Amino acid sequence: MGKKVLVVDDDPDVRMFSITVLEENGYAPLEATNGEEGMSLVRQERPDLIILDVLMPRESGIKLYRDLKTDSKLKDTPVIIQSGIAEKSFLRSQKALTEFGGAAVPEPEAYLEKPVEADELAATIRSVLGES
Amino acid sequence: MKIEKILFVTKFEQLGFDALLSLLSLRKASLGHVVLMNVIERERVAMRRGTGYRKSEERRLREVANIRFIDWAENLFEQGMEVGVYIVVGSMVPEVITAAGKEQADLIVIGRPHQGILEQLYAGSDVTELLQRSSTPVLVYKQLSESAIAFEKPFERPLLAIDWSPASLLAVDYLKEMKDLCQQIHVVHVVSEKELKGTNAMDIQKTRKETRRKLDEICTAFESAEIQAEPHVYVGETAVEIEKAARECQATMIALGSSAKAAWLERWMGSTPREIAEKSVYPTLLIPPPKA
């Protein structure tokens, strides 16, 4: 069985696209529609990689990302951010949250601005998982 | 009652990013999470003869809203805020209430409707319905361009209109949490002319004195929460006098308890909270009655 990859995105079209790319490339996809659901799946399934959207209802990707990267057991799980939010805004948000008293967190393993092509996503997954 | 999370409901033309930015001072009162919401009214994408459900129109409207929200969210994220987004197709009020419940929002912010008198009388407005059904406080925000007054910091000098109802007393507790935001609160009670009719000067003065004593007690409660407060007694038609008081006190917002009247009764007989929410030029904070 292929490596487990969790897709966290509230947009069903994007989830379907990502899952199709994952299945076609031999991975075992998991899916969640918001950060809260995503974090619970991370704890339960311990995926090898997370493809994470930022802007979602309930808990955003920012919260999930910070929770993940400050959890000693989960912080090494690689994350690809796949979002309409610009990378520089994401990085600035992390800086601002750290300034407001949060823990400093590393940058994500990869950042893809939507819309993403299938080849680009597949190549990024392989690269982050050290398979290319 | 801290405001940690707000649900900001926008149709874009009524409530823009300038209004949202003016609310970020709530950060001092623990705001850390803004949930942006756009409801695509069902009739905009509803079935039409020969075309069926207009899925492509829904997709277009969703993407238009998404583009606006991404831009807003980037700005908010860069300020260290947590941001959530809902873009849904449905009826405004039920969708807002559902989202407020799911998110456990502490405050719903909504724009003022632009409807004609007949339309409001027969159909009511989203604001009226929301005030009736919401158990979350609602801030009815006015477009900043609607009046010459700029409400950059709505919580800076609120005017609290008190009628001694449980909801208006709950508003006192709500505003007491805002000591880092409020410079001063003006506490106003409007005595109706009806209450004064047929009474002599002594009785009128007695009414004023008693009202003033009760207002002083509320001001003392604010001052013990480290908020400067001023009592005021006005006489006349309630909504008109509240608006006048807000102007005279240079208030930045009007706060009041929302009505506990039944929806149909409110529509036909009117209510002060509804009138203020829909007609005042000031942002209006409505606190619902305590849960039974």
| Architecture per CATH, A4-128 | 3-Layer(aba) Sandwich (3.40)
Structural domain boundaries in chain A? 4-128
Average pLDDT of chain A to the nearest whole number:
93
Identity (one letter) of the amino acid at A53? D
Antiparallel, parallel or unpaired: β A79-83 and A28-32? unpaired
Pick from B100-104, B171-175, B206-210, B268-272: least confident: B268-272
Q: What are A86's two structure tokens?
A: 């610009």
pLDDT tens, position by position, B165-182? 888 899 999 999 888 888
Q: What are B264's two structure tokens?
A: 């149909």
Instruction: Tell me what pLDDT residue B198 has.
Output: 62
Q: Measured between alpha carbons, how far is B188 from B234 in angstroms, rounded to an integer?
A: 7
- Identify the structural domains of chain B with CATH numbers, from first to last: 5-287 (3.40.50.12370)
Q: Residues of B222-253 as b/e, b for ≥16 C-beta within 10 angstroms? A: beebebebebbbbbebbbebbbebbeebebbb
How close B292 comes to chain A (CA, Å)?
A: 28
Beta-bridge partner residues of B11: none
Instruction: Tell me what pLDDT residue B144 has.
Output: 52
What is the mean pLDDT of the segment spanning B216-233? 93
Closest-approach residue (CA) in chain A for B72:
A85
B273 — pLDDT class (breaks 50, 70, 90): confident
What is the mean pLDDT of the segment spanning B3-15? 86
Instruction: Tell me what pLDDT residue B121 has.
Output: 47
Chain A residues whose CB is inside 8 A of the B86 CB are: 57
What is the mean pLDDT of the segment spanning A20-28? 97
- Give the helix/strand (H/E) hosting A7: strand A4-8
B138 has pLDDT over 80: yes
Q: Cα separations (Å) of B189 from B231, B239, B242, B246, B275? A: 8, 11, 8, 12, 16
Pick from A83-97, B138-152, B210-224, B243-257: least confident: B138-152
pLDDT tens, position by position, B113-137? 655 554 454 445 777 788 888 889 9
Chain A residues whose CB is inside 8 A of the B70 CB are: 55, 84-85
B90 has pLDDT over 80: yes
* Chain A residue set in contact with B, beta carbons under 8 Å: 10, 54-60, 62-63, 84-86, 89-90, 92-93, 96-97, 99-100
Chain B residues whose CB is inside 8 A of the A58 CB are: 84, 102-103
B145 has pLDDT over 60: no
B266 has pLDDT over 80: no
Is B70 in Cβ contact with A85 (below 8 Å)?
Answer: yes
B16 has pLDDT over 60: yes
Q: What secondary structure does DSSP assign to B192-236, as a single string?
A: PHHHHTT--HHHHHHHHHHHHHHHHHHHHHHHHTT-EEEEEEEES
Q: Measured between alpha carbons, how far is A111 from A127 in angstroms, rounded to an integer?
A: 12
B148 has pLDDT over 60: no
B45 has pLDDT over 80: no
Q: Cα separations (Å) of B225 from A103, B107, B137, B165, B218? A: 32, 21, 21, 21, 11
Angle, alpha carbons B123-B124-B130 (nearest 5°) = 130
Query: How many residues belong to chain A?
Result: 132
Burial class of B144 by CB neighbour count within 10 A (0 to 12, 13 to 18, 19+): middle
ipTM above 0.90, yes or no: no
What is the mean pLDDT of the segment spanning A3-16? 95
